[in-house]
Amino acid sequence: MTIQSIDRAETISAYTNTARFPARHVELLASKLTRAAPADLDTVQRAALAVVMSRASDVGNVRIERARSSPQAVRQPRFDMSGALTALAAGLTAMASLPSSLGGEGAEAKTLLATCFPEGSGFTKQEAAGLWGDTKNLLERIDRDGLAARIDALVSPKLMLAVRGAYEGLGQALGAMGPILESLPRKALIEACSRFSYAVAAYARAMAIGLDDTDEVGFLRFSKALAPIDQYRVMAKPDADDDLEDDVEDVEDPALDPALDHAPVGPIDVDPTGPGGPFIS
């Protein structure tokens, strides 16, 4: 056997063995394999290529579903919720600074602040799930005690509208409100990528059926059809996480999330009984 024949045999083996591909490259690779496919594919080869395209579509669908429920997708609704609550607290705080000589609005604002934000508004910096739960309790307390009308009369009614709208938006993003979002299994992306990898190897084996490593024309047809694999194949240990390079963590860490660093004002600590009244820290 010649050296050239050995090299061809190794190339054929490399393509027909199952390889691994980053999830974000799967659909592009499938498209390139389709464009590189010879026009004279037989029935078996066409069927194998169709499976490659189908499996690539499956990977894409899993990535879309994961993106919908990822912390990144929740980040903006959480920011909106934090901003709306902070604006409400800031509005009440501003009114609470009015002296009694100008009327009773200052005292009313201090009472509302102590009722709605008894521990200040620092809770608006927490992660999305906790923020939504605490806001739910706040709104229930406001509605139960009939505070909404008093708040609207003291500050702009739009502040409460913003809080309620942001609460609903965050609830929908978290799956607590609105359409039911089915969560995918944690290994769904890995499994979809594995099925795609197997389909690519099966397509390569279909292309290799009857191929003689001494047949230069046949080998050229084979190698051209599968050349796109070289660009996206992961050259790493089987236990590496390259196929999940676009994955995200399931648990948010608010301490690492810069999204809330741009809230309109900082946490508001309310002490209606203190000598200085409410203040912004």
Q: Is 165 inside a domain boundary?
A: yes
The answer to whether residues 84 and 163 touch, using CB atoms and an 8 Å cutoff, is yes
Name 128's Cβ contacts closer than 8 Å, sequence gap at least 6.
71, 74, 75, 77, 78, 81, 170, 173, 174, 252
Instruction: Answer yes or no: do 85 and 17 share one domain.
Output: no
Instruction: Answer yes or no: do 30 and 47 share one domain.
Output: yes
Instruction: Answer yes or no: do 48 and 125 share one domain.
Output: no
* Domain final residue pick, 164, 181, 198: 181
Write down the pLDDT at residue 3.
47
Range of 98's domain? 71-181
Q: Could you tell me where the beta strands, DSSP code E, fall in 112-214?
A: none
Instruction: Answer yes or no: do 177 and 81 share one domain.
Output: yes
Instruction: Answer yes or no: do 118 and 169 share one domain.
Output: yes
Which tokens sit at 142? Answer: 């406001």
| Alpha-carbon distances, residue 199 vs 33, 40, 53, 249 (angstroms) | 12, 20, 9, 28
* Domain final residue pick, 161, 181, 201: 181
Instruction: Answer yes or no: do 177 and 75 share one domain.
Output: yes
Write down the pLDDT at residue 6.
63
Instruction: Answer yes or no: do 109 and 130 share one domain.
Output: yes
CA–CA dist 267, 259 (Å, integer):
15
Instruction: Answer yes or no: do 229 and 99 share one domain.
Output: no
* Domain final residue pick, 181, 211, 235: 181
Name 261's Cβ contacts closer than 8 Å, sequence gap at least 6.
none
Q: Count CB atoms within 10 A of the CB of residue 166.
A: 23
Write down the pLDDT at residue 244.
46
**Number of domains into which the chain is organized:** 2
- pLDDT tens per residue, the chain (281 residues)? 454 666 888 888 899 999 999 999 999 999 999 999 999 999 999 999 999 999 999 999 888 877 766 666 788 899 999 999 999 999 999 999 999 999 999 999 999 999 999 888 788 888 888 999 999 999 999 999 999 999 999 999 999 999 999 999 999 888 888 766 566 676 888 999 999 999 999 999 999 998 887 888 999 999 999 999 999 998 755 444 444 444 433 333 333 343 433 333 333 344 433 433 332 22
Instruction: Answer yes or no: do 64 and 107 share one domain.
Output: no
Q: Is 232 inside a domain boundary?
A: yes
Q: Is 100 inside a domain boundary?
A: yes
Q: Is 255 inside a domain boundary?
A: no
Instruction: Answer yes or no: do 57 and 108 share one domain.
Output: no
Instruction: Answer yes or no: do 146 and 100 share one domain.
Output: yes
Q: Is 118 inside a domain boundary?
A: yes
Q: Is 132 inside a domain boundary?
A: yes
- Residue keyed to tokens 């490399």: 14
Q: Is 42 inside a domain boundary?
A: yes
Instruction: Answer yes or no: do 110 and 239 share one domain.
Output: no
- Count CA atoms closer than 13 A to 128's CA, side-chain side: 28
Q: Is 120 inside a domain boundary?
A: yes
Write down the pLDDT at residue 175.
81
